[in-house]
Amino acid sequence: MRYKIIHELPGRIRLLLRVPRRPVIERSRIEALFADREGVERVEFQHRTGSLLVHYNGGSRVREMILDTVQEAPLSFASAPRLRGGRREDRLDGKKRAVIASGSLLLASPFIPAPVRPFLALYGAMPILKKGILSLVGKGRLNIDVLDASAIGVAAGMRDYRTVGVISFLLKLGDYLEEWTRQRSRRMLSSMVQVVDEYAWVRREGREERVRTEEIAGGEIVVVRTGSRIPVDGVVAGGEAMVNQSSMTGESLPVMKRKGVTVHAGTVVEEGTLAVRTTAAGSRTRIARIVKVIEESEERKAEVQNYAERLADRIVPYTFLLSGLTYAFTGNPVRSASVLLVDYSCAIRLSTPLAIMAGMVKAARRGVLIKGGKFVEALAQADVFVLDKTGTLTGAAPAVAEVVPFDGYSREYILRHAACVEEHFPHPVATAVVQKAREEGVIHEEEHGEVEYIVAHGIASALNGRRILIGSRHFISEDEGIDTSRAEEVIRSLAERGLSILYMAIDRELAGIIAIDDPLRDDTGVFLRKLDEAGIKRVIMLTGDNEATARSVAERLGIREYHAQALPDTKAEIIRKLKESGHRVAVVGDGINDSPALALADVGIAMKHGADIAKEASDVLLMDGDLTAIIDAKRVSRTVMSLVGRNFRYIAGINSVLIGLGLSGAISPALSALLHNATTVLVTLNSLSPLAGKDGGADNRTSPAGGRGDWEARGHTVRPYSGTGAIEYSGENR
């Protein structure tokens, strides 16, 4: 194997290997050349750059052994079995060989004896004829394969064997170009979601160990050097580097990463060294989730995609009808064959799914994972946005503002036992209570019995033989029948300040309340303003808080339609009625209690920090938790749907012109086939245009949202919806 020394220090040498770009050589195969070689301490190979870095000890003897090993390494690595996509590449090679053979036969036809030409022409056309017969007889389908076979059959019936050869060549060429376009499309899409290397260097017990990427645990420190692909999602714990993250964001230039900055698996360190503290590895990384969703997206086709496929199937019989009528009125089989060689089906079938997939990748670069084509379409059409409050409009990082004891209990007692029970549930409010106890040095030993979480209500447990309840007013007062009247004045005062209320009862008596302050997210105002600019005239806030708290938050944000005291079934009912009234509804939420609404919506959008069940029920996931990314994803979705519509018009218009020219005899069947196939490829490539432009939406995220008066000035229509329920603190805020 040829190489070049590009950098060398005592005990360290970096080589540039002359290795093929395709197929990709496994990193482990190169590094395995030095396994158990005396004096070699560490080996790193990066296929992307062809760089081989070897750390060694033992002086010139070991150095020479390293160079000899590289030089003697066989180039058989390049012929390694294709682990992924091999069948597709083999299929493309087969179609390429068929085109070359058919073209060669066509060029040689003038020199072939006349008696032999019919047999050679029909032999070359046999694969096309066979596909058509199998589709018609075997499957009972009148599709594009039957069209192609019929065109060749007409030419053969006319004993025009040169035309048979030309049509066969052009159909094979078109087939090859379509397959080539598909493969190029896949490569363009997969360039954004390249998998990470199989191995990584992890710092354990003061030394670096080479471990499989899938074995890296959360919190471990991964060391990534120049030329290496970052194998995990994480936060930089040390070092500085320029990182190329074009695969994730589309940025053309590398960006500086230093301590405290987030990095993602699949991005490449171009210069420098990083120590990354792992937050997600293997299938949990952002890039792995993108790959999985894109691979599964075919199962969630957009309605426009299903329509395109149905339309393509329906067009074929009409093409036969038009061809038959042409022959009936003109008696010219050549003009009849011209009609058969121009169809709308293949371009429609190919361009629509590629446009949708390109849009999904574009949205993923902005941190929005759309789980299927149907949700690209739904997001583009959404005209009502229903927003959860806690964790969505607010920052999912609430804090305890007040602790008010009753009935002789001390403040310290209420906080200690509330924290003791709440620490069993990883909810932002529970975390706030536990954090407050920690800040005040309140020690809460495990004195309670088994803790029971009651969805949308609260928590129940036992404390020294006494029943302890923590949760919403609906849970404490209405479900459990506990009198809260003594706290009405305090509750009213806290609610007017926009605070949420957590109730605590012991032995059927109100023991205390905890007021929670849930500050607004930094990007909430910008998000609401951009929703308005995007033409969304109806925005609804849902919350389990009481009327005063809900009104306070809504007024601060300029949201004029809200529903307080909303239980999960209430939220679902609101979504159902909106859909019944003809709206396309998008729901943004993060909690367990948002799951029914997320599942019922036309498109459910979950936050990355939300409950697992909410993320599972959602159709769209905000991978970076940035609300404004929803606007970018909606813009991309609209662009994609507009592109699909334009493609329809291009396909219909161009192919109709070709059919008209064929009917008039202005062009031959062979030229019709050539122009038709060229049109198909061009329209298909146009479907990938969403990947070509820069990602937008990152430049207007700092402007504050206008207040209520500002929204009114922009002409918002208010259509209030009557709220239901009677709780102040529901599972929404749990």
What is residue 539's predicted lDDT score, i.e. its pLDDT?
A: 94
* Residue 57 within a domain: yes
Q: Specify the amino acid at residue 495.
A: A
Residue 229 clears pLDDT 80, i.e. is over it: yes
* Residue 122 within a domain: yes
Express the helix, strand and coil content of the chain in percent, nearest 5 each: 50, 20, 30
Q: Mean pLDDT of all residues in the chain?
A: 77
- Nearest-angstrom CA–CA distance, 651 and 646: 9
Range 196-224 average pLDDT: 85
- Nearest-angstrom CA–CA distance, 417 and 709: 44
Report the range out of 146-160, 507-521, 662-676 with the highest average pLDDT. Answer: 507-521
Residue 41 clears pLDDT 60, i.e. is over it: yes
Number of domains into which the chain is organized: 6
* Residue 725 within a domain: no
The SS3 assignment for 259 reads coil
Q: Are residues 406 and 478 in the same domain?
A: yes
Q: Are residues 524 and 608 in the same domain?
A: yes
Range 168-184 average pLDDT: 70
Q: Specify the amino acid at residue 506.
A: I
Q: Are residues 569 and 605 in the same domain?
A: yes
Range 549-578 average pLDDT: 85
Range 13-22 average pLDDT: 75
What is residue 84's predicted lDDT score, i.e. its pLDDT?
A: 40
Q: Are residues 473 and 535 in the same domain?
A: no
Residues of the chain with pLDDT > 70, as a percent, come to: 77
Tell me which of 633, 652, 676 is where a domain ends: 633
pLDDT tens figures, 100-159: 888 888 888 888 888 888 888 888 888 888 888 888 887 777 777 787 788 788 778 777
Q: Are residues 539 and 607 in the same domain?
A: yes
* Residue 144 within a domain: yes
Which of 160, 197, 343, 388 is flagged as catalytic?
Answer: 388
Q: CB 186: neighbour CB atoms within 10 A? A: 14
- Alpha-helical segments (H) within 158-260: 161-190, 246-249
What six digits make up the tokens of 158?
């006319």
Tell me which of 605, 633, 661 is where a domain ends: 633
Q: Are residues 416 and 373 in the same domain?
A: no
Residue 544 clears pLDDT 70, i.e. is over it: yes
pLDDT tens figures, 701-711: 333 333 333 33
Report the range out of 323-332, 376-385, 661-670, 695-704 with the highest average pLDDT. Answer: 376-385
Q: Are residues 251 and 352 in the same domain?
A: no
pLDDT tens figures, 256-278: 898 988 888 878 888 889 999 99
**542 versus 249: which is more confidently predicted?**
542
Tell me which of 610, 633, 656 is where a domain ends: 633
Q: How confident is the model at residue 458 (pLDDT cuts 50, 70, 90)?
A: confident
Q: Are residues 655 and 622 in the same domain?
A: no
What is residue 255's predicted lDDT score, i.e. its pLDDT?
A: 80
What is residue 705's predicted lDDT score, i.e. its pLDDT?
A: 34
Report the range out of 63-72, 453-462, 705-714 with the highest average pLDDT. Answer: 63-72
Range 340-344 average pLDDT: 71
Cis preceding-peptide flag for 398 (omega within 30 of 0):
no
Q: Are residues 413 and 471 in the same domain?
A: yes
Report the range out of 289-293, 548-552, 697-701 with the highest average pLDDT. Answer: 548-552
* Residue 111 within a domain: yes
Residue 697 clears pLDDT 60, i.e. is over it: no
User: Distance between alpha carbon 3 and the CA centroid of its chain, in Å?
Assistant: 39
- Alpha-helical segments (H) within 366-477: 373-381, 411-422, 428-439, 473
**705 versus 685: which is more confidently predicted?**
685
User: Does the annotation count 388 as an active-site position?
Assistant: yes
Q: Are residues 416 and 432 in the same domain?
A: yes
Q: Are residues 55 and 43 in the same domain?
A: yes
Q: Are residues 224 and 150 in the same domain?
A: no
* Residue 85 within a domain: no
Q: What is the CA radius of gyration of the chain?
A: 33
- Nearest-angstrom CA–CA distance, 205 and 218: 16
* Residue 417 within a domain: yes
Chain length of the chain: 734
Range 505-522 average pLDDT: 88
Q: Record the pTM.
A: 0.58
pLDDT tens figures, 267-315: 888 888 999 999 988 777 777 766 665 555 444 555 665 666 666 667 7
Under 8 Å between Cβ of 547 and 565? yes
CATH number at residue 569: 3.40.50.1000
CATH number at residue 409: 3.40.1110.10
* φ, ψ dihedrals at 397, nearest 5°: -135, 60
Lowest pLDDT segment from 404-413, 475-484, 531-540: 475-484
State how far the alpha carbon of 125 is from the alpha carbons of 146, 652, 657, in Å: 13, 28, 27
* DSSP assignment letter at 448: B
* Residue 234 within a domain: yes
CATH number at residue 250: 2.70.150.10
Range 577-598 average pLDDT: 85
Domain extent, residue 410, equals: 399-517
What is residue 382's predicted lDDT score, i.e. its pLDDT?
A: 93
What is residue 726's predicted lDDT score, i.e. its pLDDT?
A: 26
